[in-house]
């Protein structure tokens, strides 16, 4: 037998193996060591696998219950419309989504999505191991990704319940949840949830908002070429978006169409026709601004006060506002034009128009430019109304039954204790007219008679009537209150005057007609329910006098060729000028001033600056509105 040597790592000379029995023993020893090592390794591996299975089993017990999807309502975009159904604004949280029924989705789109995402959707039970191999083969043959490995059910549970991390445990959890989901929901229900949940790019979640954004149409109206394009977006929506790369979009579309033809879901002719059809894409709508921002911001604020923030930004509300967009455009144009005329004196204006019969806000302009300032002067700016406050005083006087428009009042000097001094009201021109009728006193806006009437009827009673009319701004029972020594908003003034116009019938002014959810269930119905809060005779008597303000008083520049009532307002320092007036169908308040409270200029009055704006707006707003007169005081019983 030849001698063999065993080499060691040491550099020493090799040692001969003397006998064959030694070699056998050596082999046996080595075998025992190896067997022991293998046994130990197997035991360790078994323990690891067993531990892993136990861990997975424990983790599976903590997986979410897919049955919660029976009551799952995904966040949806809310839409705000004008009174005629014109979209003004859409608002949403992170996801811009509109949920639709599976039957409201184009069959072309359903087939296109299934072709590239899960062509065996209707034959598997949530997971389909062989689909991974088919996807790999299909993608290899196409040279690009044409079919995903995960089923649609797995994609859905991943989006709804799991994190995007790529781990084995997450994939196993995904498979388990998919199996559970398929046991509870039908294929149609799963596909509906998927198509409403999936991300389509540019903040479009769900097929409906995507169809509206990409093609300006509903998902049910998508054609085959449009459906194939959208299906091709799912894997990388922004990368394949036609807004970013039209050529790549078309390439993806061709892949989808080819896959549909391979599956026999479309013919060769349909494929060729769809490939040749141009894609007339729309525009990105998720981030569009409101076309009437002052209005929609006020509407959203009213909604949130009633329903809360989450319901508004996630609840898929359909909000019909009271706003007439045509009238709103008229109001904005009038404010812009008149501001250009007097911008050197006044940097801001506000306008509010309310229907007295419903107290619906028909138009509102909160400032000259929303882009430059989002502060809403119609609802947030509290400014002194000056003599525009006097009608509240005269109404209270008439409501006592002791005064009428023809009652006499002394326009003579008077003083009232005011702490350690006396308050002596003055008229605008510094003169006194002696005994005059209440009608004349209001028509030419005399200050002294208004203060005297306030003292006669009680300042607290005036405040109480203002509260009845919906005015919530703070008021102090000071002697000068009848001259407008209080800060109010144009909205408050317009709403109160609207009640005068409606002979004492009042509703709370609102921007909202109705609110429904995305299924059409009515959440809020603001059908007017006016309450009689004023004495009708006193309201009619006041309107009768206020007509004289326009015919022969301080408001002559507000004449519009039809019966109208109103009142000018000017503060002593000319910081604020107003005109608030009405016809039976529309009450409008106009305010002009500076944000920094700087005076306009000497001699500026509501009659010279605000009344022409009111006249311009009202003439345009009432073009197609029949001329209607006011009810006379004689039609009511005097208190």
Other beta carbons within 10 Å of 246: 12
Total number of residues shown for the chain: 639
* Residue 489, C-beta contacts closer than 8 angstroms, at least 6 positions apart: 378, 379, 380, 381, 382, 383, 473
With 0-12 / 13-18 / 19 or more C-beta atoms within 10 angstroms meaning exposed / middle / buried, residue 303 is: buried
Which residue spans within 504-611 are E strands per DSSP?
505-506, 512-516, 522-525, 531-532, 565-570, 576-583, 586-593
Report the sign of the C-alpha dihedral through residues 319, 320, 323, 327, in that order.
positive
Specify the residue for token string 């030849």: 2
CA 118/CA 288 separation, integer angstroms: 34
To the query of whether residue 333 is one of the catalytic residues in this protein, the response is no
Euclidean distance between CA atoms 75 and 547, whole angstroms: 52
The C-alpha atoms of residue 161 and residue 63 are separated, in whole angstroms, by 9
Select which of 131, 387, 404, 557 is catalytic: 387
Tell me which residue of 349, 226, 213, 352 sits closest to 278, measured CA to CA.
Answer: 226
Cβ neighbours for 340, distance < 8 A, ≥ 6 positions apart: none
Active-site residue, 189 included:
no
Q: What gap in Å lies between CA 229 and CA 251, rounded to an integer?
A: 9
Q: How far apart are CA 156 and CA 117, in angstroms?
A: 12
Element at 60 (helix H, strand E): helix 20-61
Beta strands per DSSP E along 37-76: none
Task: State how beta strands 78-81 and 318-321 pair.
Answer: parallel
Q: Look up residue 105 and give its two tokens.
A: 């989705």
Tell me if 89 sits within 8 A of 78, measured CB to CB: no
Of 98, 117, 147, 182, catalytic: 117
3-state DSSP call for residue 578?
strand
| Residue among 211, 230, 259 nearest 99 (CA) | 211
Pair of tokens at residue 258: 């080819």
Q: Write out the DSSP string of 184-253.
A: HS-HHHHHHHHHHHSB-STTEESHHHHHHHHHSS-GGG--HHHHHHHHHHTTSTTTT-TTT-HHHHHHHH
DSSP collapsed to 3 states, 269-316: HHHHHHHHCCCCCCCCCCCCCCCCHHHHHHHHHHHHHHHCHHHHHHEC
Could you give the C-alpha distances from 592 to 328, 488, 490, 617, in angstroms and in order? 18, 13, 10, 14
**Residues involved in catalysis:** 117, 387
């Amino acid at each position: 037998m030849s001698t063999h040597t065993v080499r060691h790592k040491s550099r020493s000379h090799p040692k001969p193996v003397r006998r064959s029995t030694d070699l056998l023993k050596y082999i046996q020893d080595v075998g025992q060591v190896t067997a022991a090592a293998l046994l130990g390794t197997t035991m360790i591996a078994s323990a690891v696998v067993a531990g892993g299975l136990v861990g997975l089993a424990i983790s599976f017990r903590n997986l979410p219950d897919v049955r919660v999807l029976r009551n799952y309502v995904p966040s949806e975009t809310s839409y705000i419309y004008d009174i005629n159904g014109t979209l003004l604004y859409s608002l949403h949280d992170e996801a811009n989504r509109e949920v639709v029924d599976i039957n409201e989705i184009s069959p072309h789109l359903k087939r296109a999505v299934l072709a590239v995402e899960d062509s065996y959707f209707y034959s598997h039970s949530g997971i389909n191991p062989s689909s991974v191999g088919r996807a790999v083969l299909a993608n290899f043959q196409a040279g690009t990704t044409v079919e995903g490995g995960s089923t649609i059910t797995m994609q859905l549970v991943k989006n709804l319940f799991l994190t995007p991390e790529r781990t084995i445990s997450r994939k196993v959890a995904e498979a388990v949840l998919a199996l559970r989901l398929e046991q509870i929901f039908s294929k149609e229900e799963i596909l509906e949830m998927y198509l409403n949940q999936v991300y389509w790019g540019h903040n479009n979640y769900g097929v409906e908002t995507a169809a509206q954004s990409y093609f300006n149409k509903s998902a049910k109206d998508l054609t085959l070429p449009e459906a194939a394009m959208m299906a091709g977006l799912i894997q990388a929506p922004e990368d394949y978006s036609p807004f970013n790369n039209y050529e790549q979009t078309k390439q993806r579309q061709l892949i989808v169409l080819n896959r549909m033809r391979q599956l026999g879901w479309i013919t060769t002719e349909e494929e060729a026709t769809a490939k040749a059809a141009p894609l007339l894409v729309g525009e990105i709508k998720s981030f569009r601004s409101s076309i009437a921002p002052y209005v929609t911001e006020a509407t959203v604020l009213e909604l949130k006060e009633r329903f809360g923030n989450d319901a508004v930004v996630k609840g898929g509300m359909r909000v019909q506002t009271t706003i007439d967009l045509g009238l709103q455009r008229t109001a904005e144009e009038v404010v812009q034009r008149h501001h250009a005329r007097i911008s050197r004196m006044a940097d801001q204006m506000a306008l509010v128009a309310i229907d007295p019969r419903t107290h619906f806000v028909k138009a509102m302009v909160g400032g000259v430019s929303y882009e430059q300032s989002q502060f809403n002067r119609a609802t947030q700016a509290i400014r002194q109304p000056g003599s525009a406050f006097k009608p509240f005083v005269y109404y209270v006087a008439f409501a006592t039954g002791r005064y009428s428009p023809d009652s006499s009042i002394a326009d003579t000097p008077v003083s009232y204790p005011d702490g350690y001094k006396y308050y002596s009201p003055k008229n605008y021109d510094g003169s006194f007219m002696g005994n005059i009728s209440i009608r004349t006193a209001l028509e030419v806006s005399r200050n002294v008679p208004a203060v005297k009437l306030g003292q006669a009827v009680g300042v607290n009673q005036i405040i109480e009537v203002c509260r009845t009319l919906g005015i919530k701004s703070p008021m102090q029972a000071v002697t000068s209150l009848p001259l407008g020594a209080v800060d109010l908003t144009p909205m408050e003034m317009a709403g109160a005057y609207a009640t005068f116009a409606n002979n004492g019938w009042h509703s709370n002014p609102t921007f909202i007609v109705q609110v429904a959810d995305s299924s059409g269930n009515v959440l809020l119905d603001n059908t007017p329910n006016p309450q009689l809060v004023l004495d009708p005779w006193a309201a009619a008597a006041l309107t009768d006098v206020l007509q004289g303000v326009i015919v022969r008083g301080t408001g002559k520049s507000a004449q519009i060729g039809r019966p109208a009532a109103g009142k000018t307002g000017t503060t002593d320092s000319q910081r604020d000028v107003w005109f608030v007036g009405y016809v039976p169908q529309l009450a409008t308040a106009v305010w002009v001033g500076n944000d920094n409270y700087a005076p306009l200029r000497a001699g500026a009055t509501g009659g010279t600056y605000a009344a022409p704006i009111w006249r311009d707006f009202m003439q345009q707003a009432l073009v197609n509105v029949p001329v209607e007169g006011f009810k006379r005081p004689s039609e009511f019983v005097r208190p």
